[in-house]
Amino acid sequence: MALIELLEVTKTYRKGEHVVTPLANVSLSVEAGEFFVLLGPSGSGKTTLLNLVAAIDRPDRGSIRVGGVELGTASSSKLSDWRAEHVGYVFQQANLVPVLTAYENVELPLFLFGLSAAERHKRVAIALEAVGLADRATHLPKQLSGGQEQRVAIARAIVADPEILVADEPTGNLDHESAEGVLDLLSRLHRERKKTVVMVTHDPRAARYGTRRMVLDKGELKEEVVAR
Amino acid sequence: MRLLPLDYAVRNLGRRPTRTLLAAASSALVAALLVATAAFVRGLDHTFQGAARGDTAILLSSVAERDVVRSTVVAGLGELVAASVRGVASIEGVPAISDEIHMGTNLALPGDKRARPGFVRGVTDRAFLVHDAVTLIEGRTPRTGEVIVGRLVAEQLGVEPAALQLGKELSFEGATFTIVGRFAAPGTTIEGEVWTPLAPLRGLTRRDDSSATFVKVTEPGAIAELELFAKRRLDLELVVIPTAVYYKELADYFAPIRNLSWGLAGLIALAALFGGANTLNATVQDRVRELATLRAVGYGGWALVSSLAQEALVLASAGALVGLLAARLFLAGSSVRIAMSAFELNVDAPAVLAGIAGALILALFGTAPAAWRVLKLPVAAALKEN
């Protein structure tokens, strides 16, 4: 059974006086352990689809099941709990809390699990080690480069050990070298830690890291390209 | 519900120092203002309650409309009461009955170019038997040409306390008096009065009567005996008012001032509430993407609201502390002039509690609009906000 299953999902929202339908009857399944890349031009609905998979938005119609759990009809608090446990989200911008150090930013999701300070410390150390920033633990976000900030955000996404990582244009704001570093890191997490990665990008170079690619255009998944 | 660490709320306060300082100053102002208002109102209430006693009554002229200054009763009324009424208290054989003249007049210190409205009471030594809150704290009781002054007379006249030291002079009704004593009567309006012997004052003011007679009875029920006496002696045209009733009526007279004080404090607190709410709302606007990120990480809306409330409460507590210290520094021991008397501001535990509670409650209410906004935050859209 697929880890992520979208069945005839439709999502509309209002933009001023217009009703926009970024997703219309979209169906998709992603197997556990895949590095799934969703390509598409700006405004094609990629982020909308990603937000549905990450349970931070709900569909107007259709069903979304992730790990056998129906997300489309779950309550808001249930979805919060579910997100904390099952999904790590990497945004286009790192979105770190500026008044907290790298360590404290990574630690934030762990407060949701009622862990002891020692256990939190252990997990944060492992996550920072995994992204190669153990030596930057006490730095504030403003003391880090863009690439380092994004790696801290990835550490925050994996610290609670979720089975799914969703990444929305994670290299969109980075220079080429930093972008390669972040993509290598995601790829390594996928390979070594068996994470299911769902990444949205419009950059074909970034898309090469995926084990499966699809293109979303005008609200529909039009094309599927099996890579590597 | 799992909460964000308190550290997050505390450190957020440093993000916009000017805004934080303004919000803290607003809390300090509210706390200080509430303490001042509570101290004023409690001081005022305490003053009238302090003078009111269940075992003391005032005999006034029935045509004086319960105004002791306008009242005139016969000069020997005290002796008549002592001879006719059972149940009058006596101390070492002396009946606790005090004939008194109460008058508002213009007082003057040496070199004064303007008159200073003040309150003078003509008394005999028996006044100390009836008004047992009065204690001579310095000097001695007055004789002809002498006065003793209450602890708050300097404040009431608007002069330095040194101007009313023993040996200094005070003039009224065209005569000059030497100050020979100073008295305290905590929690009563008496502390704003000047006392002088009754008989010379009668001569000076060309009166052969008294304003009122204060009578202390052995137990509150004995006041009925006084009322019976007033009814029997219709020729004296008397009315008997227990001091508890008299001072309650006087306190009621000042109710509009009390209400105005609370109203003013309420208006300023309301302005602070809107200011605080606006600040917190702006905070949410500034951090909308960060808050959406925390939601995406798994924190519920109420966890974020709780963190915002912590921020507001920490800030309000710090501000309130400053406000309370300022209030303590500037208000404790201060007194307020009112009519021809004065009373001390009562900066006691309930007044301080009013300041703290007011600031914290306002802070909590101030989080409401921001909380609503956070709870209704469209996470997906907010993540895209710049």
Asked if A152 contacts A144 with a C-beta cutoff of 8 angstroms, the reply is yes
For chain B, helix (H) and strand (E) counts, in that order, are 13, 16
CB contact under 8 A, B379 and A76: no
Domain layout of chain A by residue ranges:
4-226
Residues A159 and A189: their CA atoms lie apart, in Å, by 12
Burial A97-120 (b: 16+ CB within 10 A, else e): bebbbbbbbbbbbbbbeeeeeeeb
Residue B7: its chain A contacts at CB < 8 A?
Answer: 100, 104
Cα–Cα distances in angstroms (integers) from residue B317 to residues A121, B22, B83, B265, in the given order: 32, 14, 63, 19
Cβ of B289 and A95 within 8 Å? Answer: yes
> Does residue B248 carry a pLDDT above 80?
yes
Mention every residue, 6+ apart, whose C-beta is less than 8 A from residue A157: A88, A89, A90, A165
Pick the range with the lowest mean pLDDT from B184-188, B216-220, B291-295, B354-358. Answer: B184-188
Give me the total of CB pairs closer than 8 Å, taking one residue from chain A and one from chain B: 69
Amino acid B220: pLDDT:
82
Query: Which of A29-38, B166-175, B245-254 shows the lowest mean pLDDT across its residues?
Result: B245-254
B314: nearest Cα among B109, B82, B23: B23
Q: What is the ipTM of this complex?
A: 0.90
Tens-place pLDDT, residues A145-187: 999 999 999 999 999 999 999 999 998 888 888 899 999 999 9
Residue B287 scores a pLDDT above 90: no
Which CATH homologous superfamily contains domain A4-226? P-loop containing nucleotide triphosphate hydrolases (3.40.50.300)
Q: Which residues have C-beta within 8 Å of that of residue B203, sequence separation ≥ 6?
A: none
Q: Is B300 on the interface with A (CB under 8 A)?
A: yes
> DSSP letters of A149-185?
HHHHHHHHHHTT--SEEEEESTTTTS-HHHHHHHHHH
Q: CA B166, CA B182: separation in Å to the nearest integer?
A: 8
Contact A83 B2 (CB under 8 A): no
Tokens of B77: 């009324």
How far is the alpha carbon of B289 from chain A, nearest alpha carbon, in Å?
Answer: 7
CB < 8 Å to B293, chain A: 91, 95
Minimum CA–CA partner of B293 in chain A: A95
Distance CA B149, CA B346 (A): 21
Q: Which of residues 237-296 of B touch A (CB under 8 A)?
A: 289-290, 293-296
* Averaged pLDDT for residues B365-372: 88
Question: Does the beta-carbon distance from B380 to A57 stay under 8 Å?
Answer: yes
Q: Identify residue B182 by its one-letter amino acid code.
A: R
Whole-number Å distance between alpha carbons of B277 and B271 = 10
Tokens representing residue B89 in the block: 């208290």
The predicted model gives B159-186 an average pLDDT of 94
Nearest partner of A47 among A169, A173, A172, A223, judged by Cα:
A169
B301 at the A interface (CB within 8 A)? yes
Is B299's CB within 8 Å of A97's CB? no
Minimum mean pLDDT among A131-135, B73-77, B111-115, B146-150: which range? B111-115
Phi, psi of A108 (to 5 degrees): -45, -50
pLDDT at B265: 86
Q: Which residues in A have their CB inside 8 Å of a CB on B? A: 47-48, 51, 54, 56-57, 76-77, 80-81, 83-85, 89, 91, 93, 95, 97-100, 104, 108-109, 111-114, 156
Q: How far is CA B247 from CA A162, B66, B67, B185, B230, in A?
A: 74, 11, 11, 15, 20
Q: What is the pLDDT of residue B339?
A: 59
Best mutation target, B297, B307, B375, to test chain A (most A CBs within 10 A) = B297
Task: Identify the bridge partners of residue B118 per DSSP, sorted by sequence position.
Answer: B105
Residue B386: per-residue pLDDT: 67
Chain B nearest-CA distance from A37, in A, is 20
Task: Return the pLDDT at A225.
Answer: 55
For position A153, what pLDDT does the model report? 95
User: Residue B12: its chain A contacts at CB < 8 A?
Assistant: 99
Instruction: Please give the span between the terminal C-alpha atoms of chain A, in angstroms, as a whole number.
Output: 23
**Bridge partner list, B345:** none
| pLDDT tens by residue, B62-112 | 988 888 889 999 999 999 999 999 999 999 999 999 999 999 999 999 988
B206: Cβ contacts below 8 Å, ≥ 6 apart: none
Identity of residue A159 = V
Q: Which of B378, B40, B75 is nearest to B205 (CA)?
A: B75
Residues B383/B293, Cβ–Cβ less than 8 Å: yes
* Contact of A120 with A110, CB cutoff 8 Å: yes
pLDDT at residue A223 above 70? no
For residue A186 the two structure tokens come to: 């995601």
Instruction: State how far the Cα of A193 lies from the Cα of A187, in Å rounded to an integer.
Output: 10
Please state, in angstroms and rounded to a whole number, the distance separating the CA atoms of residues B337 and B155: 7
- The answer, for B8 touching chain A at a CB cutoff of 8 Å, is yes
Test B295 with A114 for CB contact under 8 angstroms: no
Whether A30 and B269 have beta carbons less than 8 Å apart is answered as: no
